[in-house]
Amino acid sequence: MPTRRVPIGLPPKLLDRVRLAVRRRHLSDRTEDSYVAWVRRFILFHGKRHPKDLGAPEVVAFLSHLAVDDRVGPTTQNQARAAIVFLYRHVLDRTLEGLDAATRAKQTRPLPVVLSRDEVRSVLEQLHGAKRLQATLLYGGGLRLIECLRLRVKDLDLDRSQLTVRQGKGRRDRVTTLPRRLREPLEHHLGAVRDLHRRDLACGYAGVPLPDALERKYPTARREWGWQWVFPASRLFSDPRSGERVRYHLHPTVLQRAVKQAARRAGIAKRVTCHTFRHSFATHLLEDGASIRTVQELLGHRDLKTTMIYTHVLDRGPLGVSSPADRL
């Protein structure tokens, strides 16, 4: 998604220096926005004092505040810590010691929310058009929401019923399943997207953003059909880095709101999000007899322990066993 342009020709402000440091290390746009947000929150917590005048005690106070007062989870607290450590190490050129004194957020291990097959069907029936197509891809391929929205035309292989996820979590690529039932809807959808692309070309737009240095290596690729988003945004944006008129992918909140409303209309009492489809994909594969290693590869998990959590929510009971009371 669009990120803020760093001013050129003026001494950069602190948050702009954070952005530049993130970009020099080729971290993602989402990491950039997250780090900047946490640095801003840290500064506001200490009355807008400049971080160069603060040190480890103030960082410890902020991290403890997150755990005790805001009651954030350990993942959120670790993210805040990583952002502030990055600020001091790579922007202010300082090393912080003694951060372990901060109160740690309470460690929890919540089980994923999983829908039954009938519940998945009932939610999908409440969606229409491109939103239904996106939600079916989330469930049918075990995609994260951002992975679905960042799909490009060249990533779909309709003949082999597979799709390629580029630079997923941890900047790793992987191949996963593409439901055969989506071939005709996808062909129809891509026809409409191609018409939109032709109109964009006629208007002389710059193209779509490309990852890393591909825009310099292949300067015309951003206008080629294969690089276009499968789910483009409805309007053009001004690229915050170059100022050109480009087309980004659909914003995540569009599908997030649609799924939430669809679950409500379907009468599902569970808390249903876009990520619930990914949880359901993994669980249903295990119930169908797929090996845990196969599911790990399809989900793109680095550690098998992450995938093992789905064995606790199978329809045969925790760890895939049935209750002895069912044999009475």
52 given a catalytic annotation: no
The verdict on whether 205 is a catalytic residue reads no
Given the residues 65, 169, 183, 245, the one annotated as active site: 169
Residue 310 among the catalytic residues: yes
**What amino acid is encoded at 283 in this protein?**
T
Q: Would you call 189 a catalytic residue per the annotation?
A: no
Q: How far is CA 153 from the centre of its chain?
A: 19
Residues 76 and 108: beta-carbon distance below 8 Å: no
Torsion of CA 49, 51, 53, 58, to 10 degrees: 90
C-alpha–C-alpha distance, residues 152 and 81, integer Å: 34
**Of the listed 81, 131, 132, 144, which one is catalytic?**
144
**Alpha-carbon distance 276 to 26, whole Å?**
30
Q: Is 248 a catalytic residue?
A: no
Is 197 annotated in the active site?
A: no
Task: List the catalytic residue out of 249, 278, 279, 284.
Answer: 278
Q: Which residue has the tokens 């990583």?
A: 82
Which one of 132, 150, 247, 301 is the catalytic residue? Answer: 301
**Marked catalytic residue, from 35, 139, 248, 310:** 310
From 5, 46, 65, 275, active-site residue: 275
- C-alpha distances in Å from residue 65, one per residue of 55, 83, 90, 98, 212: 16, 16, 24, 16, 37
Q: Which residues are catalytic?
A: 144, 169, 275, 278, 301, 310
